[in-house]
Structure 1
Amino acid sequence: MNRLTATGDYIYTYAYTNDEKALCQLEMRSFFGKDTSEKIVKSGVAIDPSRSPFIKERVELYFEGDTLQDILEQTGEVDMADATFKVIFLKINGLSELDQVDYLGKRDVERQIGSAITGEADVHQPDVTFGLIPFEGRWYFGRYLQSEPVWFKHMKKPREYSTALSTRVARAVANIAVPQPEGVKAIDPCCGIGTVLVEALSMGIDIVGRDINPLVVDGSRENIAHFGLAGEVALGPIAEVEDEYDVAIIDMPYNLYTHATPADQLAILKDAHPFTEKLLVVTIEKMDHMIEEAGFVVTDRCVAKKGLFLREILVCQKAG
């Protein structure tokens, strides 16, 4: 292949329900520093689309232009040599009226681009898939990558809790806590059966777990091993954490076995203060006052809905 140099920008497309919108937007802000109500984002930040439960696909941009003709002229200089290719016109529900193209129009555009590229097209098993998309009045073309729903495979665990986070929420929580995993050490010190741990470990996040309940520690270890992952889960209270971490994820205990009183919740937050700069709290109760009392400041937040059941997700930093 020749003349294919990435611009350094990416376009991501999204799919989520109304209940998931606020959580998805908090994940967007964590990844890209901005969010949008449209189901499409352009950013210079490279994220593997399979990390997010909401990203459908990513296009790594090579060309852009004011018109489709501009793209046709640029793709006309692409020679695939021995690599086969396919062109996809992305299907986006959230596009503005200006950017919408009907189904037949899309097929026609795919054929035009495919004809402009020198090489052998293969619609079934191409070596390279290209994506084309109009966005905000301009046209964009680049390397296409579809998201794989890795989290879906984690839904059936050997050990389950009825009150555990869903795998989609757990995956988003891990991403919000650790958007860029390189060099980041994380801990889930009230890890329960390890729903967040499984998602984080499957994305290569350096995270350890801990819980005060020996039954759930066993369950967490079993769940991690079941998916072929390796991660340490220690037995003991949060007060006994000795190492320092860049971020702690705390899903406040509130089930049959471990219902935390307000005093317990405040103690958990205070015990986290010495060992982490960043804290991500998942709670079914308002606790801004506790977070402040424990020495943290809320920097971002959202409500994750599941029907009538609401969880608040709070991103916090150590005060001062």
Structure 2
Amino acid sequence: MDEHDLCRLEMRAFFGYDSPSNALISKVAIDPSRSPFMKERLEIVWTAHDWADLLAQAEEFVSHSTFKVTCMNDIALNDTAKIHHPERRAMEREIGEKIEGEADLDNPAVNFGILSLNGRWYFGILQVSEPIWRYHMQKPHMYSTALSTRVARALANIAVPHPEGVRAIDPCCGIGTVLVEARSMGIDMVGRDINPLVCLGSRKNLAHFGLDGEVVKGPIAEVTTTYDAAIIDMPYNLFTHITAEGQLDILKNARRISSKLVVATIEPMDDMIEEAGFQIVDRCVAKKGTFERQILVCK
């Protein structure tokens, strides 16, 4: 699947801008396990002009927990070339020997990272992403037209990049693919659908992964609570029988109950979204072969 643009859209939601390269420096702290696209995060403790400077600072550093050192330059980053395996291991040992504390390569309490990037060295606490979304691929209840867990997780992040104090809704939640991803990241999201069978399946999927979450049967028109964000994977295929008027009604009700909307759609609906009272502020296309979904961020 070609998800380069979706990755960049999620990056803009998290950090306020994206990067043309595969590394980004920001003061915004995001758990890398939230994103299906992030590999790791380095919480910088100090920077150095060169390797000798990095070693000198390591001599003054004390680790009060068992530790391991990992060199993160296993791929090319920006204009910084990859450092090959033997050299990385030698660097890790050299830094580890300078740090005061107990090294533990098998089960360290903390993993320190060292990184060469754009002519500077960085040392910090390394957090490696865990692909939690992969565990959600095998749900007890599936739906043939549901979003992939990877795309669903990105949509939840785009809609609610910073969850604290934010309430969200998926009013056409189907089997709960977005809902599972959102709830697994601590996003306060509720689900809703007009189909009682998929509502039941959505509840069972949440329970299967040990997640709490409310799923209500009923149309979006019956929602009386307001939310900070909504996600709508616009219903499609031969079994939904939804009309253009029905789509517009969903969008108008989304405008009524939420200040932000993320829409996934297989057909253009810019005019319809504007007619509903939203303005499209960002967008991308997620592709899988010849199949395309437009992802629209609306406010």
Same fold per TM (> 0.5)? yes
Q: What is the distance in 1 between the residues matched to 2:9 and 2:91?
A: 35
- Whether 1:142 aligns to 2:124 is yes
Q: What is the distance in 2 between the residues matched to 1:97 and 1:278?
A: 37
In structure 1, the partner of 2:267 is: 285
Q: 2:211 aligns with which of 191, 212, 229?
A: 229
- Shift of residue 97 of structure 1? 4.2
Q: What is the distance in 2 between the residues matched to 1:286 and 1:310?
A: 11
Q: Say which SS state the counterpart of residue 122 (structure 2) adopts.
A: strand
Q: What do you get for the CA RMSD once the two structures are aligned?
A: 1.3
Q: What is the distance in 1 between the residues matched to 2:258 and 2:98?
A: 54
Q: Say which SS state the counterpart of residue 86 (structure 1) adopts.
A: strand
Deviations 1:190-230 (A, max 9, x none): 00100000000000100111011111111111111111111
In structure 2, the partner of 1:188 is: 170
* Unaligned residue ranges in structure 2 (runs of 5+): none
- Whether 1:26 aligns to 2:14 is no
- Give the number of aligned pairs: 299
Q: Say which SS state the counterpart of residue 236 (structure 2) adopts.
A: coil
| TM-score normalised by the chain length of structure 2 | 0.97
Which deviates more, 83-92 or 123-132? 83-92
- Shift of residue 66 of structure 1? 1.5
Q: What is the distance in 1 between the residues matched to 2:126 and 2:96?
A: 14
Q: Say which SS state the counterpart of residue 59 (structure 1) adopts.
A: strand
Identity percentage of aligned residues:
61
Q: What is the distance in 2 between the residues matched to 1:246 and 1:32?
A: 19
CA contact (8 A) 2:74 2:84 kept: no
In structure 2, the partner of 1:216 is: 198
Q: 1:242 aligns with which of 190, 207, 224?
A: 224
- Whether 1:75 aligns to 2:58 is yes
Q: Say which SS state the counterpart of residue 201 (structure 1) adopts.
A: helix
Q: 2:37 aligns with which of 43, 48, 54?
A: 54
- Shift of residue 94 of structure 1? 4.2
* Unaligned residue ranges in structure 1 (runs of 5+): 1-16
Greater fraction strand? 1
Q: What is the distance in 2 between the residues matched to 1:140 and 1:296?
A: 43
Q: Say which SS state the counterpart of residue 45 (structure 2) adopts.
A: strand
What is the letter of the counterpart of residue 159 of structure 1?
Answer: H
Q: Say which SS state the counterpart of residue 279 (structure 2) adopts.
A: strand
CA contact (8 A) 2:74 2:85 kept: no
Deviations 1:261-309 (A, max 9, x none): 2221111101111111101000000000001000000000110111211
What is the letter of the counterpart of residue 147 of structure 2?
Answer: L
Q: 1:299 aligns with which of 281, 286, 291?
A: 281
CA contact (8 A) 2:73 2:116 kept: no
- Whether 1:312 aligns to 2:290 is no
Which structure has more RCO (C-alpha within 8 Å, separation ≥ 6)? 2
Q: What is the distance in 2 between the residues matched to 1:98 and 1:248?
A: 40
Q: 1:89 aligns with which of 41, 54, 71?
A: 71
Q: Say which SS state the counterpart of residue 228 (structure 2) adopts.
A: strand
Q: Say which SS state the counterpart of residue 141 (structure 2) adopts.
A: coil
In structure 1, the partner of 2:142 is: 160
- Shift of residue 189 of structure 1? 0.3
- Shift of residue 91 of structure 1? 3.6
